[in-house]
Amino acid sequence: MNRLLRDPAFLVLPLALFLLVFYLLPVVQMLLRSTGADWSFRPFVDAFSSEVTLKVFWLTARIAVIVTVLTLALAYPLAYFIATTGERTAMVLLALVLVPFWTSILIRSYAWMVLLGQNGVVNGFLRWTGVIDAPVRMLNTTFAVYVGMVHVLLPFMVLPILSSLKAIDGRLVAAAENLGAGPGAVFRHVIVPLSMPGVLAGSVLVFVLSLGFYITPALVGGPSDMTVSMLIAGEVDLYRWDVASAIATALLIVTLVTLALFGRVVSLERIFGGAR
């Protein structure tokens, strides 16, 4: 018995018990609530017989796909430059990625409200340069949702791509060059394939996190820019807890299925941990 207690595995017990009571149990209760009192799955029927629910799921998925593609297009050049430039420039650029990463989503969304408003910085600049005469409506539009979400999620794409680029063995590039490959060919046939793990990890992460977005679309989006998370919060406000649970369960299933299909590539340690 004494030997059994010496097993370091027991050290995880307090944390496991804490999460069991204050995290797993609430989530399981929510899942059970969504099945209805008599396992009739009535809340699901109520939630998904509504046009609105289906439309919001579709809109959220579309936002998630577009944000993922935009984020990838912006993150790859930045990550590649950081990986190939001098030590000092790389450190400065990395800091520029990490400072917004540790600034709260709420504050960054507020910054976009300040930037994109009718009297905001962007409108002021465009009018000053004479590109436009009257302020353009940018805040409370779908455009603002894309801009704000890409801004918030960009570091989640840059960091995994950078870490897989840094892991590439430079001798492979030298070998390809010695065998007569030009810069374009080396990039396409060596660098891009070898950075794929990072691209996949970043894309899965950004896609999954986009699916659950709430604060940014609620602050900078227009009335038609509703995400699944906003819908769930709205149902809770209307005291329709069973319906809210059903929609939340559906969102959780979509999230977990995405992660189960592609999640092997995601290493949270790399992003949030000391591996930097």
Partner 1 sequence: MNRRNIRVSGPLTQAVLGAVALLVAAFLILPVLIIVPVSFTADSFLSFPPPGFSTQWYARVFSRADWLNSAWLSIWIAVVVTVVSTVLGTLGALGLVRGRFIGQRLLLAFIMSPLIVPGVIVAIAIYFFYARLKFVGSPLAIAVAHTTLAVPFVVVNVSAALHGFDRRLEMAAANLGAGRFATFFHVTLPIIRPGIAAGALFAFISSFDELIVAMFIAGPTQVTLPLRMWESMKSSLDPSIAAVSVLAIAISVALFLSSALLQRRARRRSGAASGDPQ
What residues between 142 and 171 interact with partner 1 by CB under 8 A?
Answer: 151, 154-155, 165-166, 168-171
Q: Is 112 in the site for partner 1 (CB under 8 A)?
A: yes
Say if residues 219 and 109 touch (Cβ distance below 8 Å).
yes
The least CB distance from residue 265 to partner 1, in Å, is: 13
Figure out which of the listed residues 25, 52, 65, 175 binds partner 1, where binding follows CB under 8 A: 25
Cα–Cα distance, 173 to 21 (Å, whole number): 52
Three-state secondary structure of 98-165: HHHHCCCHHHHHHHHHHHHCCCCHHHHHHHHCCCCCCCCCCCCCHHHHHHHHHHHHHHHHHHHHHHHH
User: Contact region for partner 1 (CB under 8 A) — 4-12, 37-45, 49-57, 130-138?
Assistant: 4-12
In this complex, which beta carbon is closest to partner 1, that of residue 69 or of residue 252?
Answer: 252
In this complex, which beta carbon is closest to partner 1, that of residue 54 or of residue 174?
Answer: 174
Q: Is 119 in the site for partner 1 (CB under 8 A)?
A: yes
Q: Is 229 in the site for partner 1 (CB under 8 A)?
A: yes
What residues numbered 182-221 form the site for partner 1, per CB under 8 A?
Answer: 183, 186-187, 191, 205, 208-209, 211-215, 219
Q: Is 108 in the site for partner 1 (CB under 8 A)?
A: yes
- Which residue's entry shows tokens 């409370």? 140
User: Contact region for partner 1 (CB under 8 A) — 43-51, 61-69, 130-138, 245-253?
Assistant: 245-253
Cα–Cα distance, 32 to 52 (Å, whole number): 23
Cα–Cα distance, 131 to 143 (Å, whole number): 19
In this complex, which beta carbon is closest to partner 1, that of residue 10 or of residue 41?
Answer: 10
Which contacts (CB < 8 Å, 24+ apart) does range 119-124 have?
none
Query: In which element (H, E) is residue 71 found?
Result: helix 51-84
Say if residues 139 and 118 touch (Cβ distance below 8 Å).
yes
The pair of structure tokens assigned to 10 is: 């027991």
Q: Is 120 in the site for partner 1 (CB under 8 A)?
A: yes
The least CB distance from residue 55 to partner 1, in Å, is: 18
What residues numbered 257-276 form the site for partner 1, per CB under 8 A?
Answer: 259, 268-269, 272-276
Q: Is 9 in the site for partner 1 (CB under 8 A)?
A: yes
What residues numbered 35-94 form the site for partner 1, per CB under 8 A?
Answer: 74-75, 77-78, 80-87, 90, 93
Which contacts (CB < 8 Å, 24+ apart) does range 192-195 have?
194/164, 194/167, 194/168, 195/161, 195/164, 195/165, 195/168
Cα–Cα distance, 257 to 214 (Å, whole number): 20
Figure out which of the listed residues 104, 193, 238, 257 binds partner 1, where binding follows CB under 8 A: 104
